[in-house]
Amino acid sequence: MSVYLSKLLVPIVIFIIVINLFLRLKIIKSYRELAKKDVYVDPKLLLDKKKLESFIEANHPEHYEDIITFKKQLNTLAIIASVGLLSILIIFLIVHSNT
């Protein structure tokens, strides 16, 4: 079983890298669009939904959708990176414990 898992590790890593690059490009594009509109959000606000929404309503109500989309893209990237790292770590530990 560990042989199959070790062979599965390389495609998983490649898949995660490709998804990561794709999401990073989308995030960079969104950030550039926000920067062109002179919309800058403190990174701390992206972690707190209530503060972010009050900031958007007070400062940039016309760019609400763009900022929320940017936040969702960042959250998706973080989740995929975490799940990918955990899956690689689990596969590595299973393969290493069987040898």
Q: What is the spatial distance between Cα 17 and Cα 88, in angstroms, rounded to a whole number?
A: 12
pLDDT tens-digit map of 17-74: 999 999 999 999 999 999 999 998 888 888 888 999 999 999 999 999 999 999 999 9
Q: Tokens standing for 64?
A: 């609400």
Confidence at residue 79, expressed as pLDDT on a 0 to 100 scale: 93
**Residue 1, pLDDT score:** 58
| Residue spans per domain, the chain | 2-98
Asked if pLDDT for residue 94 goes beyond 90, the answer is: no
Does the pLDDT of residue 10 top 90, yes or no?
A: no
d(CA 6, CA 13): 11
